[in-house]
Structure 1
Amino acid sequence: MHPTRRAFEHVHKPLIRFLGRRQWPSSPAPQHPHPAAPKEFADAFSEFLRKFNSSLSAPKKMPTSSSIEGRVYEFWEAPERLFRPRSRILEEWEIEAIESGGASMY
């Protein structure tokens, strides 16, 4: 037998089959409560949607100051307690010992 002919007889067939191009809808589906939601949630869903959509349409103001009501927008404005490590602070000689390899100094 010819080895090349045998190679063509048994062609690898992948186990994964792709279905082809997907057709995505041009508009989103209408919003509805989850089918397994409790009845009281399903009944109040239309009111929730009304409140949610009204909150989206209202323009949101960005704060003029960088820190308002305890919010921090830049990391350097955070309280000092957030920069302190929970363990003890390393001394300069300890940092140098770690950076140099440490074993040769002792």
Structure 2
Amino acid sequence: MLPTGRLLQQARQPLIRFLGKRSPPTHVDHTPHVHPASPMKSLPDSFASYRQKAQQHGPLNRRDLSAHVGSKPGAALGPVKPSPGEFWDRTELPSRFGRLRWTKAEIEAVESGGASLFA
């Protein structure tokens, strides 16, 4: 007896049962609208007006970019200092937040893939 032959003789029946004929909606509104979570309550008049106000790592309009970036040396833009309580580098933090030195046992465990811990 060949069980695979018997399986192939049966008609294939899908596991999913559909309830009825597919009926797409008759009308879908494709007009632009404001996202419900948006802080702005209205759409901009045009892309150009949006771009004048948009910020992404600084202003996006070209006149501001050409006036500030590259037209003056960096030192002429003024000092750049973090706010009180902010640190830009780990080395500026107190020593309790510094990196810990690895012990010889830890180095050996990493190099052996952990096998030295059980040997």
* TM-score exceeds 0.5: no
Counting helix residues as a fraction of each chain, which structure ranks higher? 1
TM-score calculated relative to the size of structure 2: 0.31
TM-score calculated relative to the size of structure 1: 0.33
